[in-house]
Amino acid sequence: KQDCILEPLCFPEHLCGSASLASSSDGRPVTCALCSDSFPASEKDQLLKHMVLDHKLVIADVKLIADFPR
């Protein structure tokens, strides 16, 4: 049996819908899934930069996220 250190990272879904990892399709600011900082919906790269610098969370293959806007 091989031990695996990589597994999917799942964030809790927020009922209010204001906190998500990705951009909102209606242009509202998006709140970081790990804190209360928010970013313009069009600034996905700024959100990812924030997650790396402030939370040390690296998403290496963003293009492989099945539904980033969600």
pLDDT band per the 50, 70, 90 thresholds, residue 60: confident
Residue 32, domain extent: 17-62
Please count the structural domains in the chain: 1
Confidence at residue 1, expressed as pLDDT on a 0 to 100 scale: 58
More confident residue, 6 or 21: 6
Is 56 a domain residue?
Answer: yes
**pLDDT of the residue at 66:** 63
In a domain, 49, yes or no: yes
Span 14-53, pLDDT tens digits: 544 444 444 445 567 878 888 989 888 788 889 889 999 9
Residue 6 lies in a domain: no
Contact criterion met (CB below 8 Å) for 37 and 20: no
- Residue 42: inside a domain: yes
Q: Is residue 68 part of a domain?
A: no
8 Å CB contact between 20 and 30: yes
Would 43 be classed as within a structural domain?
yes
Is 12 contained in some domain?
no
Average pLDDT of the segment spanning 42-69: 81
Please report whether residue 7 resides in a domain. Answer: no
pTM above 0.75, yes or no: no
